[in-house]
Structure 1
Amino acid sequence: MTIPTAPTDAQLAAASWRTSSYSAANNECVEIAPVASWMCVRDSKDPSGPALTFTAPAFAAFVAEVKRTA
């Protein structure tokens, strides 16, 4: 399996970030954005800070497991 090249800082800055509809309006949540073959996650309190990047299949597996155990 070939892992795609991680998103660049410019791609992360241009990404369409969104928060969960369950999040409060006080910026204390995480935001996600799809960028190419990746799902990116960042802290809404620090949008210019670092982002975690996951391959789309790894992120989908994580979300499925959270839903399964919730």
Structure 2
Amino acid sequence: MPATFILMYLSSIIITLFNIKSYEFREVLFLLYYINSACNPLIYSFFNVNFRNDIRRIYKYHKHIYLT
């Protein structure tokens, strides 16, 4: 999980350190921020059994509420 974080934010660090003004590079950076946010729930759901169980429990609870 830390590797995903480092990979997604490395471009931001490079832009800051080297003061890069490229519009295209900034667009890629913006896209990486969104990809990172989208990847986090997937990473947690694959690697954390407690997270999966809690999501199932919440889903079952809400499903029961709406059906009654």
Instruction: Provide TM-score, normalisation by structure 1.
Output: 0.27
TM-score of the two chains, using structure 2 as the length reference: 0.28
The structure where strand makes up a greater share of residues is 1
Which of the pair has the greater relative contact order for Cα pairs under 8 Å at 6+ separation? 2
The structure whose Rg is larger is 2
